[in-house]
Structure 1
Amino acid sequence: MKCLGISSHISLGLLALLAGCSSDSSSTSAVDDLKSSIEGDIEGATENNNVCLNDGYSAMQGATGEILCMDSAGNLSFWINPDGSFGYPESSQEAGTPDSNSSASESGAASSDSTSTENIESSASATGSTETPASCADSKALYTINGVSYYQSAQGYIYYYDGACNQVKVESAVSSSSAKPSVESSNDSQPTVSSSSVTPVENSGDIQTPQSSASTTPAENNSSASTATSNASTSNGNSPTIKYAGAAATIENDNGCVNIDGGTVTITCAGDYNFSGNGDGQIQVNAASTDKVELYLNNLTLSHSSDAPLYVHNADKVVVNLESGTTNTFSDASTRTTDYIKADGTKDTTGAAIYAKDDLTIKGEGTLKVTGNYNNGIHSSNDLRVRGNPTINVTAKNNGLKGKGLVDIEGGDITISATNGDGIKSDECNVSGTDTTITEGKGIVDIKGGKITITKAGDDGIQAYNYVFIRDSVSAPTINVTSTGKGIVSENRVYINAGKIDISSGDDGVHSNMNVYFNGGYTTIAAPKNDGVHADSTLTINDGTIYVTNSYEGLEAWYIKANGGITDVYGTNDAWNAAGGNDGSGNTSQGGQSNWGFPGGGGMGPGGGGMGSSSGFLTITGGVHHAKTGSGDTDGIDSNGELTISGGVVIVECQISGGMGGSFDSDGNANLTSKTVLGFSSGSSEKGSNYSVSFSTSSYYGTSNVAFKPTISGRYMVTTTGQPSQVSNVSSYSKSVTFPSGSTVYYNE
Structure 2
Amino acid sequence: MNKKLLTISCISSLSLTMYTGCSDSTSAADFYNAGEEIDASSSSASDNQTTPTLDSSDSSISSSSELPPDDSTPGSSANVPASSSEASPASSNSNGTSSATIAYSSTPAAQSSSSAQPEQVNENPGDRPVIAYAASGATVTNAGNCVTVTGGTVTIKCGGEYDFSGSYSGSDAQILVNTAKTDSSVYLNMKGLTLTNTADAPIYIQKASKAFVVAKNGTTNTFTDASSRAKTYSYTNDAGEAKTDTTGACIYSKDDLTIKGEGTLIVKANYNNGIHTSNDLKVKNGLITVNAKNNGLKGKGSVEISGGTINITTTEGDGIKSDTEDATDLASGKGSIEITGGTITVTSAFDGITAANAVVVANGESEKPTIKIITGGGHSCLSDPTTASSSTGRGGFGGGGFPGGMGGSSCSTTESMKGIKGDSSIAVSGGVIDINSRDDGLHSGGTITLSGGTMTIATDDDGVHAEKALYVKDNANVSVTIAYEGMESPDMNFEGGITSVITTDDGWNAAGGTSTTTGGNTGRGGWGGAGGGMGGSTGNLKVSGGYHYVYVGTGDTDGIDSNGGISITGGVIIVECRMNGGMGGMVDSDGTTTISSNAKLLGFGTNNSEEGTQYSVSFNTNSYYGTSDIAFKPSFSGSKMVSSVGQPGVVNSVSGMTKTCFGNSTDRCVYTK
What range describes the TM-score normalised by the shorter chain of this pair?
0.7 to 0.9
Residue in 2 that maps onto 1:372: 269
Instruction: Indicate how the Cα distance of structure 1 residues 739 and 383 shifts in structure 2: closer, same or farther if over 3 A, else same.
Output: closer
1:417 matched to 2:313? The reply is yes
Residue in 2 that maps onto 1:249: 138
Give 1:347 shift.
3.6
Instruction: Indicate how the Cα distance of structure 1 residues 676 and 483 shifts in structure 2: closer, same or farther if over 3 A, else same.
Output: same
Amino acid paired to 1:153: D
Residue in 2 that maps onto 1:743: 667
1:275 matched to 2:213? The reply is no
Residue in 2 that maps onto 1:510: 442
Residue 682 of structure 1 contacts residue 714 of structure 1 at CA under 8 Å; is this kept in 2? yes
1:361 matched to 2:361? The reply is no
Q: Which gives a bigger RCO, structure 1 or 2 (Cα 8 Å, sep 6+)?
A: 2
Instruction: Give the distance between the partners of 2:210 and 2:634, measured in 1 at CA.
Output: 58
Matched residue SS, 1:693: strand
Equivalent residues in 2 for 1:321-720 (5 A)? 321-341=214-234, 347-387=244-284, 389-430=285-326, 438-454=330-346, 456-474=347-365, 475-484=367-376, 485-528=417-460, 530-542=461-473, 543-580=475-512, 583=521, 585-586=523-524, 615-673=538-596, 674-720=598-644
Instruction: Give the distance between the partners of 2:666 and 2:156, measured in 1 at CA.
Output: 59
Residue 380 of structure 1 contacts residue 402 of structure 1 at CA under 8 Å; is this kept in 2? yes
Give 1:473 shift.
1.6
Equivalent residues in 2 for 1:722-737 (5 A)? 722-737=646-661
Matched residue SS, 1:374: coil
Residue 499 of structure 2 contacts residue 662 of structure 2 at CA under 8 Å; is this kept in 1? no
Give 1:346 shift.
5.9
Instruction: Give the distance between the partners of 2:182 and 2:123, measured in 1 at CA.
Output: 12
Residue in 2 that maps onto 1:106: none
Question: What TM-score does the superposition give when structure 1 sets the normalisation length?
Answer: 0.67
Corresponding pairs, count: 533
Instruction: Indicate how the Cα distance of structure 1 residues 449 and 725 shifts in structure 2: closer, same or farther if over 3 A, else same.
Output: same
Instruction: Indicate how the Cα distance of structure 1 residues 340 and 154 shifts in structure 2: closer, same or farther if over 3 A, else same.
Output: closer
Residue 355 of structure 1 contacts residue 378 of structure 1 at CA under 8 Å; is this kept in 2? yes
Instruction: Give the distance between the partners of 2:57 and 2:154, measured in 1 at CA.
Output: 26
Q: Deviations along 1:385-441, whole A, 9 cap, x unmatched?
A: 111x3000000000000000111111000000011111000011326xxxx993322
Instruction: Give the distance between the partners of 2:136 and 2:143, measured in 1 at CA.
Output: 20
Matched residue SS, 1:161: coil
Give 1:252 shift.
1.3
Matched residue SS, 2:521: coil
Residue 125 of structure 2 contacts residue 142 of structure 2 at CA under 8 Å; is this kept in 1? no
Amino acid paired to 1:504: N
Give 1:740 shift.
2.1
Instruction: Indicate how the Cα distance of structure 1 residues 587 and 437 shifts in structure 2: closer, same or farther if over 3 A, else same.
Output: farther
Equivalent residues in 2 for 1:224-243 (5 A)? 235-243=124-132
Give 1:737 shift.
3.7
Instruction: Indicate how the Cα distance of structure 1 residues 350 and 658 shifts in structure 2: closer, same or farther if over 3 A, else same.
Output: same
Residue 587 of structure 2 contacts residue 610 of structure 2 at CA under 8 Å; is this kept in 1? yes
1:164 matched to 2:87? The reply is yes
Instruction: Indicate how the Cα distance of structure 1 residues 672 and 457 shifts in structure 2: closer, same or farther if over 3 A, else same.
Output: same
Instruction: Indicate how the Cα distance of structure 1 residues 356 and 437 shifts in structure 2: closer, same or farther if over 3 A, else same.
Output: closer
Instruction: Give the distance between the partners of 1:166 and 1:294, measured in 2 at CA.
Output: 19
Matched residue SS, 1:438: helix
Question: What TM-score does the superposition give when structure 2 sets the normalisation length?
Answer: 0.74
Give 1:490 shift.
1.1
Amino acid paired to 1:422: D
Amino acid paired to 1:658: G
Instruction: Indicate how the Cα distance of structure 1 residues 261 and 626 shifts in structure 2: closer, same or farther if over 3 A, else same.
Output: same
Instruction: Indicate how the Cα distance of structure 1 residues 368 and 624 shifts in structure 2: closer, same or farther if over 3 A, else same.
Output: same
1:153 matched to 2:70? The reply is yes
Residue 548 of structure 2 contacts residue 662 of structure 2 at CA under 8 Å; is this kept in 1? no
Q: Which runs of 5+ in 1 are unaligned?
A: 1-6, 11-61, 66-73, 75-97, 104-131, 169-232, 590-612
Matched residue SS, 2:484: strand
Residue 309 of structure 1 contacts residue 353 of structure 1 at CA under 8 Å; is this kept in 2? yes
Residue 182 of structure 2 contacts residue 209 of structure 2 at CA under 8 Å; is this kept in 1? yes
Identity of aligned residues (%): 46
Q: Deviations along 1:435-478, whole A, 9 cap, x unmatched?
A: x9933221011111000001x21110000111111111241110
Instruction: Indicate how the Cα distance of structure 1 residues 699 and 307 shifts in structure 2: closer, same or farther if over 3 A, else same.
Output: same
Matched residue SS, 1:723: coil
Amino acid paired to 2:584: G
Q: Which moved more, 1:738-747 or 1:705-714?
A: 738-747
Please report the RMSD computed on the Cα atoms of aligned residues, expressed in angstroms. 3.2
Residue in 1 that maps onto 2:393: none
Q: Deviations along 1:224-279, whole A, 9 cap, x unmatched?
A: xxxxxxxxx97544311101112510111223200000000000001110000001
Q: Which moved more, 1:305-314 or 1:346-355?
A: 346-355
Instruction: Give the distance between the partners of 2:620 and 2:264, measured in 1 at CA.
Output: 55
Amino acid paired to 2:554: S
